[in-house]
Amino acid sequence: MTAVDRMGDRMDAHRLLSRAAAALLLVFGSGSAVGCADADAVRVRLQSYTPAGLEPNQVALRAQVAGPLAGLRYKWFAVAGQSAPQDGDTAETVFTFADGATRDRVTLEVWRAERRVARAELDVALDSALARASAHMPKLALTVTQVPPSDAGGPDTRGDIAGRVVGEITPDLRVVLYARAR
């Protein structure tokens, strides 16, 4: 056997070992070879927002969820306040601050079957100026019962408007109505 033949045999053995190592890596370490992320991993991030229609001591919370969504349940917790719903299959809730509180920490646990798959926390704060102003505002409802006809307007144009105010009416309550002619 010549030196060239021995060198060829060594190269063939090296190629064979390289292929065997690659095959073992694919069989046993495919998760590591392809990427570090688990295909079933769930990641979650919380955000708060204030849509119209909420009470002054409330904020809406939304979970941005990445990963497989099938079968997920969401459990909301807080230090002092309450979430509604507290447990459900939707990634949103309305958080109500405890009486007198302007700050809190909300925790969301994301579950699939009997296993917690993700967790996130968010510090929430109430706009204290809005809360103070709203605390002194009475709860009222205004209903317009008579609407004046549409007109071009002018100094000699008049129209009647009528309505009803119900709710927490106090003696110092004033209704100010702004009208605009076309």
- In degrees and rounded to multiples of 5, residue 2 shows phi and psi of -90, 170
- 3-class secondary structure, 45: strand
Q: What percent of the chain has pLDDT over 90?
A: 38
- More reliable by pLDDT, 181 or 21: 181
For the segment 71-119, what is each residue's pLDDT rounded down to a tens digit? 999 999 999 999 999 999 999 999 999 998 889 999 999 999 999 999 9
Distance, CA of 65 to CA of 137 (rounded, Å): 38
Higher-pLDDT residue of 67 and 156 is: 67
CA angle 107-85-114, nearest 5°?
65
Q: CA–CA separation, 167 vs 128, rounded Å?
A: 25
Contact predicate 26/43, CB 8 Å = no
CA dihedral 26, 32, 34, 39 (to 10 degrees): 110
Q: Helix or strand or coil: residue 132? A: helix
Mean pLDDT of 146-171: 80
The answer for residues whose C-beta is within 8 angstroms of residue 118's C-beta and 6 or more apart is: 42, 43, 44, 65, 67, 109, 110
Residue type at 89?
A: D
Q: DSSP alpha helices (H): ranges in 29-124?
A: 30-34
Walk me through the domains of the chain, giving residue ranges and CATH numbers: 43-132 (2.60.40.10), 138-182 (no CATH)
pLDDT band (50, 70, 90) for residue 129: low
Q: What is the pLDDT of residue 31?
A: 41
Angle at 155 between CA 149 and CA 158, to 5 degrees: 30
**pLDDT tens-place string over residues 4-54:** 455 455 555 545 445 544 444 344 444 444 445 566 799 999 999 988 888
What is the pLDDT at residue 24?
41
Euclidean distance between CA atoms 85 and 87, whole angstroms = 6
